[in-house]
Amino acid sequence: MRFHRVSGSTRTGRYTMLALAGTSMLAVAALTVPAYADGQDAAAAFQLGVTHERYSADWWGDEEAVADAEEILSGVGPLQNQHLMGFGAENPWPVQNSSAREWGSLDERMTLIEETDGTPVLTLCCAPGWMTPSGEDWPQAYEAPLPQYYDEYAQLAAEAAARYPQVEYFQVWNEFKGFWNDDLNRWDHEGYTELYNLVYAAVKAVRPDAQLGGPYVSINSFDDCTHDCSDLQGSWGTADQRDLDAMEYWLANADGAEFFTVDAWSSTNDGYHPGTAGTYEKFRDVTEWITARTDLPVWWSEFYAPASSADESSTVALMRAAIEGMRDGGSAVALLWGPECQSELPCIWTDTSEAGGGQATEYLPLVQEFSGR
């Protein structure tokens, strides 16, 4: 499987500890996930948010650049997603059999979201190294917890849900990472669903108000499909049947959910770029495939629409096509990966680590248009 993102743990330094205690509940003003009931218009309800990556508008950057980035961030969203660990947050449970937790870096990100008027989303990924086959923390290894540690991971998820009562929405895991079954040449959707159900029960036990979603499968596709070809296809290519099987298994076996998560690239695994029309069609078609099988609101946890040297369309136009395809297919939410520029991926403000950073990019007006502010 291919992995497309830059990942890593945040820089160490000063932490602002938040006074968020135990299992107490807070009444928070947060996004109501659209269910599109009673004829509600899906397009009007659609919202575009962001997912913080390794670096964002953080305290360690240039002071003026960070302030400028925070101003931009305050004008988009309001959904702001942060991972439990691995994408700007350090391992909160570094020592096995210890009751000590290290929430500092995640506290910092929650402070950023609060100070920029965001509605926080927490992705329950990734796992402390001692839970994984290699023993390495993310991002040194892209691994799921071993089955014997599923209960401990569910415990950690519940502790996070209790610590951050302002978080209403929880995505469980990220792209099925670590759940590939080499022997069967398909996803271990049984293992993922077992972990999901344990996490769901543990979080609901301490936070009955929490909204959880899965399975966060990444849809692979092929222009020249030679194996595991599905009926989900169009001018953009053919979806891999194994990804669809994983989603249908989860729908049939999850103990509960409040929304459905998915992601994809417009381009195929074998390098075909479908252009703006095909990009729109792909994200619409995948969304409609999902909404035909569940009434759960559909969240696009990640989406990518890169340009190619042979494609005259701008990346902004391709990104618009993807967003409009998701919206018109009936999605509730889409999350832009990495609002701060740190790779070739679209971003909405420039690097804040140096003076002069934190400036708006060409993608900002598009994100603002669909952000729901």
For residues 115-124, give the mean pLDDT.
97
What is the chain's mean pLDDT, rounded? 88
Q: Which pLDDT does position 3 carry in this prediction? A: 28
Residue 284 has pLDDT above 70, yes or no: yes
Note whether residue 24 is domain-resident. Answer: no
Note whether residue 130 is domain-resident. Answer: yes
Least confident piece of the model among 11-20, 26-35, 85-94, 119-128 = 11-20
What does the DSSP assignment read for 42-79? HHHH-EEEEE--SS-S-TTS-HHHHHHHHHHHHTS-SE
Note whether residue 16 is domain-resident. Answer: no
Q: Which pLDDT does position 142 carry in this prediction? A: 76
Note whether residue 246 is domain-resident. Answer: yes
Give me the helices (H) in the chain, please. Answer: 42-45, 63-74, 104-115, 150-163, 189-206, 241-253, 275-291, 315-329, 364-370
| Number of domains comprising the chain | 1
CA 250, CA 191: separation in Å to the nearest integer?
10
Note whether residue 13 is domain-resident. Answer: no
Q: What are phi and psi of 213, to 5 degrees?
A: -145, 155
Please give the angle made by the CA atoms of 148, 150 and 151, to the nearest 5 degrees.
100
Note whether residue 38 is domain-resident. Answer: no
CATH number at residue 142: 3.20.20.80
In this prediction, residue 311 has a pLDDT band, given cuts at 50, 70 and 90, of low
Residues 6+ apart with CB under 8 A from 53: 5, 6, 7, 87, 88, 337, 338, 339, 340, 342
Note whether residue 30 is domain-resident. Answer: no
Residue 8 has pLDDT above 90, yes or no: no
Quick one: residue 176, left, alpha or beta (phi over 0 = left, psi -120 to 50 = alpha)? left
Q: What are phi and psi of 222, to 5 degrees?
A: -140, 140
Note whether residue 66 is domain-resident. Answer: yes
Q: What letter would DSSP give residue 184?
A: T
What does the DSSP assignment read for 274-301? -HHHHHHHHHHHHHHHHHTT--SPEEEE
Q: What percentage of the chain reaches a pLDDT higher than 70?
A: 87
Q: In which domain, by residue range, is 50 found?
A: 44-370
- Bridge partners (DSSP) of residue 217 are 262
Q: What predicted TM-score, i.e. pTM, was given to this entire model?
A: 0.87
